[in-house]
Structure 1
Amino acid sequence: MTTPSTVVVEPADDRNRYEISVDGRLAGFTEYRDHEEQRVFFHTEVDEAFAGQGLASRLVQEALTDVRAAGKRIVPICPYVAKFLLKHEEFADIADPVTPEVKGWLRTQLY
């Protein structure tokens, strides 16, 4: 019999990301930058040791729920977040399209 894991998703605002931990170990994160009222998600990663457990989906769902609660909108530059949105239409009302302007702005924030 396996012991159930404790999975926690928390904002790490000082690192501009949301983190997911399993039993206290960092398992993954989704990174963003804030642009006015938009939270621009550009990268999501889950450690190989935690692959196949649905953690990326849980991480993104909880991150987007937090964005909604904060009254912000999302821009899914990250391919995983964009794919998640295709399957989860409940977030369509807070999603903005990826535009060349937002991509250009993000480049100025990252490099």
Structure 2
Amino acid sequence: MTEQAATSPVVRRVDARHRYEILVDEQRAGLTAYRDREDRRVFFHTEVDEAYAGQGLASILVEQALADVRASGMRIVPVCPYVAKFLKRHEEFADITDPVTPEVLEWLDGQLKR
């Protein structure tokens, strides 16, 4: 009996749900959520399901999401701690990253109704 190799993870943007999802074998394994404010994509939450932990999926997800932001001509605001940590290790996105400000946090709270 031979085992079938797992397919490479696929990242897709789901605009209707304001997030990017990472799929493994067509199953959603994680997501990074955002809201758009003018020309800025404000990332506020990233998660990977426990069943997929330890496989580096969060890094793949965030890297591809940020590359998509760059390709769309937008800027990044890293409210999400994981995205902020990723950006410290990946300076290639520094030119399109804006700081998290109290104004952005207040706006995000209004968007999320919290």
Q: TM-score range by the shorter chain?
A: over 0.9
By how many angstroms is 1:4 displaced? 3.2
TM-score normalised per structure 2: 0.95
Cα distance in 2, alignment partners of residues 35 and 11 from structure 1: 17
By how many angstroms is 1:5 displaced? 2.7
Partner of 1:63: 65
By how many angstroms is 1:51 displaced? 0.3
Helix, strand or coil at the partner of 2:100: coil
Partner of 2:46: 44
Partner of 2:77: 75
- Residue by residue over 1:32-68, the C-alpha shift from the partner in whole angstroms, topping out at 9 and shown as x without a partner, is 0000110000000000000000000000000000000
Structure of larger gyration radius:
2
Structure 2 portions without partners, runs of 5+: none
- Count of residues in correspondence between the two structures: 111
Partner of 1:13: 15
Cα distance in 2, alignment partners of residues 82 and 8 from structure 1: 22
**Paired residue for 2:28, among 26, 29, 33?**
26
Cα RMSD (Å): 1.0
By how many angstroms is 1:30 displaced? 0.2
Letter in 1 for 2:33: E
Letter in 1 for 2:94: A
Cα distance in 2, alignment partners of residues 92 and 109 from structure 1: 25
TM-score normalised per structure 1: 0.97
Structure 1 portions without partners, runs of 5+: none
Could you list the structure 1 runs, at least 4 aligned residues long, displaced by more than 6 angstroms after superposition: none
